Amino acid sequence: MSLLFVFVDGVGAGRPDPAVNPLAREPFLLSRFEDGSGPPLPSGGRAGLADARLGVDGRPQSATGQTTILTGENAPALLGKHLLGFPNPRLRALLERRSIYRRLAEAGRRAVFANAYPVAYLRALGFPVEGEAEFAMPRRVRASATTVAFAAGGGTFRSFEDARAGRGLTHDLTARRADELGLKLPRRTPEEAAGIFLGLAAGADFAAFEFFETDEAGHARSMERALDALTRLDRFLRTLVAGLGPEDSLVVTSDHGNLEDLSTRNHTLARVPVLGFGQAAARVEAVEDLTGVAPLLLELAGVGRAPAPLPA
């Protein structure tokens, strides 16, 4: 039994208006709308919508939204605000204590994070990695919520050498951006990337992949970039769904709205889709807000629910 988790940055459930919402232009798996409608999902998949505001005023942001997804804790409530970008010391401490990757490791489960990074980036963050650095980092880098969470479980990050060897995935799935920068990675189709991810998942209890070009397209207010990113992602996800075994699960969700309303470059107040396939299909509609994602993943992995919430 394998559990696959795909985190997609910046995709909410907006109005079915193709003038501003690229999700309304094609029947993508993530084409979920604010009224709960959307095209049928393949293979018995089901979709719910989760609140990303979490009872805190303001627009949901990446640092707090992702921390909530990866811990099950209400990170905006902990800080008293939504925090954009990268986690601050309080969120990093929360991720280190309550990361789902740490819970999985403590329960003896094996987790893999499929995203591959440049050696220079990983070393700049202080993570041990073999191989020569591809370039010198031009500035100080900060760890995302995802990298802090995965490090808390003691896992090994994947480098571009892993991507070359078919043991990891570039963030854009195809390696086009890395290849254009002269990093000499083999280009792959989204379907080939899905095959690699399924292979990684087959040897693990939990496999995760992060896709953030959707959020970039939303901030750029670019319909062309949004449709390109969504098309690649949709091909990847559909191949994953087709490759699931009878006991496998696939969960897909996001941290906040953005791409679904290209009339603004800001994040939105929209609820976010939570898609479930395989064993996860019957459970995703019970996820009312982002705090419910981690408990769902842990249950599907056979670990059980997260411990009691931390005091504010």
Chain segment 255-279, per-residue pLDDT in tens: 999 999 999 999 999 999 999 999 9
% the chain with pLDDT above 70: 95
Tens of pLDDT, residues 154-209: 999 999 999 999 999 999 999 998 878 777 889 999 999 999 999 999 989 999 99
Question: Taking residues 55-76, what's their average pLDDT?
Answer: 98
**Region 22-43: what's the mean pLDDT?**
97
- Read off the pLDDT of residues 223-264 as tens digits, 9 standing for 90 and up: 999 999 999 999 999 999 999 999 999 999 999 999 999 999
- 3 closest CA partner among 227, 253, 200: 200
**What residues are paired with 103 via a beta bridge?**
none
Residue 177 is predicted with a pLDDT of: 85
Domains and CATH numbers, the chain: 3-300 (3.40.720.10)
pLDDT of residue 311: 52
Residue 306 has pLDDT above 60, yes or no: no
Give residue 120's pLDDT.
Answer: 84
Rounded to two decimals, the pTM is 0.94
pLDDT for res 173: 97
DSSP output for 32-44: -BTTS--PPPGGG
DSSP run (H or E) holding 65:
helix 62-71
pLDDT grade, residue 134 (50/70/90)?
A: low
Confidence of residue 217 (pLDDT cuts 50, 70, 90): very high
Is pLDDT above 70 for 2? yes
Q: Say what the pLDDT of residue 6 is.
A: 98
Three-state DSSP class for residue 122:
helix
Per-residue confidence band for 127, with pLDDT thresholds at 50, 70 and 90: confident
Provide the pLDDT confidence category of residue 126 given band limits of 50, 70 and 90.
Answer: confident
How far apart, in whole angstroms, are the C-alpha atoms of residue 263 and residue 241? Answer: 32
* DSSP codes of every residue in 168-215: SB-TTSS-HHHHHTT--PPP--HHHHHHHHHHHHHTSSEEEEEE-HHH
Res. 310: pLDDT tops 70: no
Whole-number mean pLDDT of the chain?
93
pLDDT given for residue 231 in this prediction: 98
Q: How confident is the model at residue 307 (pLDDT cuts 50, 70, 90)?
A: low
pLDDT of residue 14: 98
* Exposure on the CB side of residue 89, measured as CA atoms within 13 A: 0
